[in-house]
Structure 1
Amino acid sequence: MKALTFHGKGDIRCESIPDPGIEDPRDVVIKVTACAICGSDLHIYDGVIPQMHDGDVLGHETMGEVVEVGSSVKNLKVGDRVVVPFTISCGDCWFCQHGYYSACERTNPDHKKAETLWGHSPAGLYGYSHLLGGYRGGQAEYLRVPFADSGPIKVPESLADDQALFLSDIFPTGYMAAEFCDIKPGDTIAIWGCGPVGQFAIRSAFMLGAERVIAIDNVPERLALAEKAGAETLDFSKADIYDAIQSMTNGRGADACIDAVGTEPDPTASIDSMIDRVKVATFLGTDQPHVLRQAIHCCRNFGTVSVVGVYGGFIDKFPMGSAINRGLTFRMAQTPVQRYLPRLLERIERGDIDPSFIVTHRAALEEGPEMYKTFRNHKDGCIKVMLQP
């Protein structure tokens, strides 16, 4: 089969590799009908994510048609259309039983590596390094889905692929980011990053009752899409974000702030972000927390900071004094996608949201390496790439 594979920083290739097969009775194999390039994949493309091996198959936003079924899988059959959560979860361990699927104890065979870095291991993820299992990703013609009786959800025929695909990651992640904010009537939510996750966070915040959403970015197409959803926008290259949010909230600050950027903010955003970038480039740091610092300072007293942008290691100059003295609450996670799938699928079916709004570019799998460059460099108004093998 054909698949997109990693061969070092900035080197993504479409090449032929062996087809997957059933390896465990709980597996299924799907023929991929749609997959996508996620903003998190760009961290791999930029060489930021450790433990990526030459030839690793990328991608964790995938859906398709079941073509093989393991003997223990009773909830799926050949021919079913399914969307696959990016978090691989057994469904049986303590964390899965409590709804914390992204912390599954059993699906990361590389858990010792993760424990060395983070203290404890999260669940395995598709196509996202040998810290998280080394699983083949879904930017391919076929995908083996382990623990298939505890992951994929059937997609009704009434929904097109571009409406269902983003249940795999970015819709649940954006929704979780907004849900973490514990939104009350009248609340103002500030969101850093108007990429795909930020766009879903904007719409989710409004669905959950926010009165105002302030969206922060510097890419014109992203800001325009945020405004289309009803957000007020700030271009960080033209405005002092702290001063602007203080002015817009009568000096109180946003009720909650969402970091949908993570470890790779625009290094030209400020002197602070430039220093962070230099530290990473000279191996004096692992992450660039400029956005997180700014979100903390812009949040009102006893507000909430919701973090869904990807961080991988350690951050410095963390304003702990601000956080503790002002009573901030922090919520963050890799999304336990299975927890959100039924309710978000229902929202799509009843017309609360049509996730296909996010797609700006559609391409064949063979065009994937070029689409990585297009997405990475914001070329041609690119906000989200959907690939169709």
Structure 2
Amino acid sequence: MRALTWQSKHTVSVEDVPDSRIQEPTDAIIRITSTAICGSDLHLYDALSPFMDKGDVMGHEPMGIVEEVGSGITNLKQGDRVVVPFNVSCGHCWMCQRGLQSQCETTQVREQGSGATLLGFSRLYGSLPGGQAEYLRVPHADYGPIKVPHTGEDEQWLFLSDIIPTAWQGVKYAEVPEGGTLAVFGLGPVGQMATRIGVHLGYRVFGVDPVSERREMAARHGVEVFDMEGFGGRKIPELLREATGGRGPDGVVDAVGMEAHGSPLGKAAHTVVGLLPDAVARGAMKTAGVDRLNALHTAIESVRRGGTVSLSGVYGGMQDPMPMLTLFDRQIALRMGQCNVRHWVDDLLPLVDDPSDPLGVHDLVTHRASLEEAPGLYETFQKKQDGCIKVVLTP
């Protein structure tokens, strides 16, 4: 079968790889009909490349049609249409039973000290082949896949695999009171959905991003937008306080993560680590501060006293500097973590199925292409060229 594979830093290619096949009784094989490129894929393309191996199949936002099921599967049958969550969870362990599917004790990658196995996401999370391919083996398919109707275009359902539940969790973790204010830093796909969810929940929502096309998209959905560089030399925290009666937003979602703009020291750390042999680089990333923290530090400076900063963007450094005096003095709460996709599905399915499209899922994709065109679009997406916000691929 054909699949998008990692070859080296900044190099991916579509290659012939072994066909997906049933390995366990609870496996299913999915014929992929749509799969997306995520901002997290760009981390593997660049900053987290030391944890990748040549030939790894990428992608963790897939959906498609069930082609084959293992002998232990009773909830799915051939021909079912499903969305596949990016994290693999069993549904019955202590963590899953408490809604922490991203920490599933059955699929934890203990040799790396990591949480649940993720589709297509490096040896840090199990090196499980991902969904930017013609077919996908789905472990624990007796629990994970989300059955959806055969009605509607794929794009109506596809983002249940990751970005909609990730954004929903990020907003919920921000602990915004009823009628309160929410700021979202980073208006990529997750940030776009987080702002729309905030609007849907009745909050006053601010969106912050340096890219004009992203700000324009958010503004179409009732979001008050700011350039990350500020306005007239004034800094974002000052502008947000001015807009909120001098306090700052009740909650802030950082949807940027480790590769934030405006963090020269973090960029230098990424560059240095990228020059090391992979084995050495992996050790460095597990013991050093290598993240670009501009967005996170600005979020902490912006949120009101007693407010909450929610991290949806991925961070990978182990000793990143944090402004502990500010966090303590201003009584700021931090919440974060990989999304517990299955925990939020019951809340989200009715919204995605609503013909009025309250979350604006039909206004997100900017680029559609075949799987064979994926390598060029990785570069376009990373460099934020051609107004690229969300890419959907058809194998």
Q: Name the TM tier (shorter chain).
A: over 0.9
Instruction: Compute the displacement of 1:200 (Å).
Output: 0.4
Structure 1 position 9 matched with structure 2 position 13? no
Q: What secondary structure sits across from 2:306 in the alignment? A: strand
Which of 202, 213, 226 is matched with 1:234 structurally?
226
Among candidates 190, 206, 210, match of residue 214 of structure 1? 206
CA shift digits 1:154-174 (9 cap, x unpaired): 111223201100000001111
Aligned pair 1:353/2:345, yes or no?
no
1:310 matched residue in structure 2? 314
Deviation at 1:376, TM superposition (A): 1.1
Deviation of 1:112 (Å): 1.4
Instruction: Say if 1:193 and 1:216, in contact at 8 Å, map to a contact too.
Output: yes
Between stretches 25-34 and 337-346, larger displacement belongs to 337-346
Provide the rounded CA distance (Å) in 2 between the counterparts of 1:129 and 1:90. 20
Question: What residue number does 1:198 align with?
Answer: 191
In the alignment, which residue of structure 1 is the partner of 2:334? 330
The answer to whether structure 1 residue 274 and structure 2 residue 264 are counterparts is: yes
Alignment of 1:85-124 (within 5 A): 85-108=85-108, 110-113=109-112, 115=113, 121-124=114-117
Aligned to 2:283: none
- Does the 8 A contact of 1:183 with 1:209 survive in 2? no
Q: Distance in 2 between matches of 1:278 and 1:195?
A: 23
Name the counterpart of 2:38. Answer: 38
Quick one: distance in 2 between partners of 1:262 and 1:315?
A: 15
Residue 259, structure 1, aligned to residue 271, structure 2: no
Q: CA deviation at 1:315?
A: 4.2
Displacement of 1:286: 2.0
* Paired residue secondary structure (1:44): helix
Q: Within the alignment, does 1:372 sit opposite 2:378 as a pair?
A: yes
Q: Distance in 1 between matches of 2:50 and 2:307?
A: 33
What SS does the aligned partner of 1:151 have? Answer: coil
In structure 1, give the amino acid aligned to 2:24: D
Aligned 8 A contact 1:256 1:305 in 2:
yes
Aligned partner letter, 1:12: V
Structure 1's unaligned 5+ residue stretches are 116-120
Cα contact 1:10–1:47 (8 A) shared by 2: no
CA contact (8 A) 2:193 2:359 kept: no
TM-score by length of 1: 0.94
Aligned residue in 2 for 1:118:
none
The alpha-carbon distance between structure 1 residues 104 and 45, as it changes in their structure 2 partners (threshold 3 A), is same
Alignment of 1:178-197 (within 5 A): 178-197=171-190
1:149 maps to amino acid: D
Distance 1:192 1:122 in 2: 25
3-state secondary structure, aligned to 2:307: strand
SS at structure 2 position matched to 1:43: helix
Report the CA distance shift for 1:49/1:292 in structure 2 as closer, same or farther (over 3 A): farther
Q: How many residues of Structure 1 are paired with residues of Structure 2 in the alignment?
A: 376
Deviations 1:266-292 (A, max 9, x none): 1xx3xxx11222233334632122211
Do the aligned partners of 1:21 and 1:144 also contact (CA within 8 Å) in 2? yes
1:247 partnered with 2:237:
no
How far off its partner does 1:49 sit? Answer: 4.6
Once structures 1 and 2 are overlaid, which stretch shifts more, 317-326 or 138-147? 317-326
Q: Is the 8 A contact 1:49 1:312 kept in 2?
A: no
The one-letter amino acid of 2:272's match is T
With normalisation by structure 2, the TM-score equals 0.92
Are the aligned partners of 2:28 and 2:137 in contact in 1 as well (CA < 8 Å)? yes
User: What one-letter code is carried by the residue in structure 2 that aligns with 1:9?
Assistant: K
User: 1:100 and 1:288, CA in 2 relative to 1: closer, same or farther beyond 3 A?
Assistant: same
Moved more, 306-315 or 362-371: 306-315
Other structure's SS at 1:5 match: strand
In structure 2, the partner of 1:127 is: 120
CA contact (8 A) 2:8 2:49 kept: no
CA distance in 2, matches of 1:228, 1:28: 39
Match of 2:167 among 161, 170, 174: 174
Q: What pairs with 1:339-350 in structure 2 (closer than 5 Å)? A: 339-350=343-354
**Equivalent residues in 2 for 1:148-163, closer than 5 Å:** 148-163=141-156
Q: 2:25: which partner in 1? A: 25
**Residues 118-175 of structure 1, C-alpha deviation per residue, up to 9 Å, x if partnerless?**
xxx3100000011111100000000000000110011112232011000000011111
Stretch deviating more after TM superposition (257-266 or 152-161): 152-161
Q: In the alignment, does 2:282 pair up with 1:292?
A: no
Gaps of 5+ in 2: 274-287
Q: Which amino acid aligns with 2:267?
A: R
- Aligned equivalents of 2:169, 2:270: Cα separation in 1: 29
Q: Which amino acid aligns with 1:276?
A: G
- TM-superposed CA distance for 1:354, in Å, is 4.1
Give SS of 1:301's match: coil
Output the CA distance in 1 between the equivalents of 2:241 and 2:44.
Answer: 35
After superposition, what is the alpha-carbon deviation per residue over 1:187-230, rounded to whole angstroms, capped at 9, x for unaligned? 111110000000000011112221x1111101111000110111
1:51-101: CA deviation from partner (whole Å, max 9, x where unpaired): 210000000000000000000010000000000000100112100111110
Alpha-carbon distance in 2 for matches of 1:50, 1:98: 33
